[in-house]
Amino acid sequence: MIEHFSYIVTVFLMIAGLYIVIARGNLIKKLVGLSVFQTSVYLLYLAPGKLLGGTAPILAPEYGVYSNPLPHVLILTAIVVGVATLALGLALAVRIREVYGTIEEDEILALDHRIEEAEEQGEEHRA
C-alpha cells in the first residue's frame, strides 16, 4: 500500500479530473477538471523518476546515486503545454461569455438551438 502511494494518488487524480470534465456543464469547471487530469500525468512521469537518496545528476566523487533528469525535462514541456491549453480554454470561455452571456453548456446549446430554429423559419419565410 505505502510503496504504491504515488501511483494511487496519480490514478485518483486522473479519474477525478476526467470525471469533472465529463460530468460538469460549467465551462470553467470543465477546465479545472482538465487541468487536474493533465497534472496527474505529471505525477505519472515524475514519481517513478525519483530515486530515494538520489541527488541531482552531478558528476562528483561524493555523489554516487542520482535521479534520471529526463522525466523532469519532459514534464517541464508538458507543464508549458498545460498552461497554454488552460490559457486558451479560459480565453475561449471569456469570448463565449461575451457573445452568449452564459458559461453553462446546456444554456449555450439551448441558445444555439434557438438560432437554428430561427434560421429555418427565416428560410421558410423567404421561400
Partner 1 sequence: MSLATHLPALQVVLPLVSAPLAVLLRHGGVAFAVVTAGAWAAFATAIGLWLEVGQLEHGAFISYHIGNWAPPWGIEYRVDRLTSLVLLLVSGMAALVLTASRASVEREIPRESHYLFYAMFGLCLAGLLGITITADAFNVFVFLEISSLSSYVLIALGRDRRALAAAYRYLIMGSIGATFIVIGIGFLYLMTGTLNMADMAARIGAIESSRPVLAALAFLTVGISLKLALFPLHQWLPNAYTYAPSVVTAFLAATATKVSVYVLIRFYFSVFGESLVFDKLPLPQIMLWLSLFAMFAASFTAIFQDNLKRLFAYSSVGQMGYITLGLSFDSVNGLAASIVHLFNHGIAKGAVFLLIGGLVLGIAKPGSAPPTPSFDRLAGLAKRMPLTCLGIVIAGLSLIGVPGTAGFISKWYLILAALESGQPWLVGAVLLSSLLAIAYVWRFVEVAYLRSPAPGHEARMEAPLSLLIPAWLLVAGTIWFGLDTSLSLGSALEAAGALVRSGR
- Closer by beta carbon to partner 1, 4 or else 95: 95
Query: How many residues sit in the footprint of partner 1 (CB under 8 A)?
Result: 34
Beta bridge partners of 55: 66
C-alpha cell at 91: 480565453
3-state helix, strand, coil in the chain (%, to 5): 75, 5, 20
Count of positions (residues) in the chain: 127
Q: Tell me if 60 contacts partner 1 by CB under 8 A.
A: no
Query: Which residues are CB-neighbours of 108 under 8 A, at least 6 positions away?
Result: 96, 100, 102
Contact pick of 81, 106, 107, 121 for partner 1 (by CB under 8 A):
81
Residues that bind partner 1 (CB under 8 A): 14, 18, 21, 27, 30, 34, 37-38, 41, 44-45, 48, 71, 74, 77-78, 81, 84-85, 88-89, 92-93, 95-96, 99-100, 108, 112, 115, 119, 123, 126-127
